[in-house]
Amino acid sequence: MIDIKLIREQKELVKENIRKKFQEEKLSLVDEVYDLDIKWRDSRKKADDLRSKKNQMAKEIGALMGKGEKEKAEEAKENVRNMNEEIANLEKEEETLAEEIKKRMMVIPNIIDDSVPIGKDDSENVENEKFGEPVVPEYEIPYHADILDSINGLDKESAGRTSGNGFYYLLGDGARLHEAMLAYARDFMIDHGFTYAIPPFMIRSDVVTGVMSFKEMDAMMYKIEGEDLYLIGTSEHSMIGKFKDQEIKEESLPICLTSYSPCFRKEVGSHGIEERGLYRVHQFEKEEMIVICRPEESMKWYNKMWELTVEYFRSLNVPVRTLECCSGDLADLKVKSCDVEAWSPRQQKYFEVGSCSTLGDAQARRLGIRIKTKDGNIYAHTLNNTVCASPRGLIAFLENNYQADGSILIPEVLRPYMGGKEKVVPQK
């Protein structure tokens, strides 16, 4: 949610930002908020003026009573009663107008950074930089589900019976590799100074609407029937929610946390759920990182965070690239975002394994996360980034470490989490 001062003072800037995101249908909201805000401020001024007048009249009533002028005092009291009624009506009007303003402000997109490329959708995202040589070996790389099947590591058929499409069983070394990658991601982040956390896996609706747009919420979140609770789609949701309505001391910043959680997503859309593979599923696990910092430090942390994901995957022999998200591909709360994509030697193209975003103060405004400074309170900036989401990260690992004999090479950094194994050999 943007600062309403932008609409009061720079209405055209807000409209131009909406045009850059190709959301012309939202342009009228800016004018509506502008007009409603004028009415809200007018109501508030009238109520404040009446309160001041009422307080003055209360003093006069006391003086009149002291003089024994009861008739005039009673007349003044009647005026005060009328003022109280008018103030109550104005307060109700203020509340109604405030709700109408908030309803519209919640769907007006955040102001994007000047460096964000302008484009309609993800087809116009821009490659930034490649890390590692994207090799295509002379031997064939099987589909990841077949690699896992060769080590008896995957059972989707049974998951279909228990849970339906979009779920899976990981078994044996397949499950162990999955957990090894997450455990290594945890320790990798701890070694880089982040504090480890395991958050709640369900959050209330006021936290959901604080961390994401309504459009994202409808497409992603599973609601618990009969409860004001939603299953998280990423631990960022509950980790940022941890600071709801909090005043953070400036000297305690930045707050750098890395969190593990299972993640649950409806995955509504045309892309669909994979029948056989694990690329797009309803349930996965993830190691996340979040940072809460001063506004002037957010871009520095943004760059540091995606660099950490690159470093993590390169240590696992996975070539990656960063892809700058264009304006039309940015979620409404985001200021700037880039995807980290892993090389697929089987498909000979890159695919997304992580996403890094700075949201400016949008989440902080919605959730009331403030920094206490010597000059007063300001809203914090919030950032989030994927360290490793598996099984998608596992797919990248399997393809890039698959050997000609069907074995899977285990990089040195992962061996302590695999009981010292240097490779996993096929059982079929």
d(CA 377, CA 33): 25
The owner of tokens 């009969």 is 226
pLDDT band at 422 (very low <50, low <70, confident <90, very high): very high
In-domain check, residue 115: no
pLDDT at site 107: 93
Task: State whether 240 and 305 are in the same domain.
Answer: yes
**Would you give the end-to-end CA distance of the chain in angstroms?**
54
pLDDT band at 214 (very low <50, low <70, confident <90, very high): confident
Handedness of CA 240, 382, 195, 397 (dihedral sign): positive
Task: State whether 58 and 136 are in the same domain.
Answer: no
d(CA 120, CA 374): 42
Q: What are phi and psi of 354, to 5 degrees?
A: -170, 160
In-domain check, residue 117: no
Task: State whether 147 and 75 are in the same domain.
Answer: no
213, pLDDT greater than 90: no
In-domain check, residue 206: yes
Mean pLDDT for the chain? 94
Residue that terminates a domain, selected from 105, 139, 159: 105
Could you read off the pLDDT of 328-374 as tens digits, one per residue? 999 999 999 999 999 999 999 999 999 999 999 999 999 999 999 98
Residue that terminates a domain, selected from 73, 105, 137: 105
Tokens representing 142 are 């099987």
Residue type, 122: D
pLDDT at site 273: 66
The CATH number assigned to the domain holding 12 equals 1.10.287.40
d(CA 214, CA 205): 11
Q: What are phi and psi of 69, to 5 degrees?
A: -90, 70
In-domain check, residue 59: yes
Q: How many domains does the chain fold into?
A: 2
Task: State whether 96 and 131 are in the same domain.
Answer: no
In-domain check, residue 113: no
269, pLDDT greater than 70: no
Average pLDDT for 240-267 = 96
Q: What is the pTM of this model?
A: 0.90
Residue that terminates a domain, selected from 62, 78, 105: 105
In-domain check, residue 310: yes
Task: State whether 231 and 351 are in the same domain.
Answer: yes
In-domain check, residue 116: no
Average pLDDT for 373-378 = 92
Average pLDDT for 304-331 = 97
Q: For a pLDDT cut of 70, what percent of the chain falls above it?
A: 98
User: Residue 71 is part of which domain span?
Assistant: 4-105
Task: State whether 266 and 142 are in the same domain.
Answer: yes
Contact of 101 with 37, CB cutoff 8 Å: yes
Task: State whether 152 and 83 are in the same domain.
Answer: no
In-domain check, residue 222: yes
Tokens representing 31 are 């004018």
pLDDT at site 272: 62
Could you read off the pLDDT of 39-82 as tens digits, one per residue? 999 999 999 999 888 888 877 777 777 777 777 877 778 888 88
Task: State whether 53 and 150 are in the same domain.
Answer: no
The CATH number assigned to the domain holding 198 equals 3.30.930.10
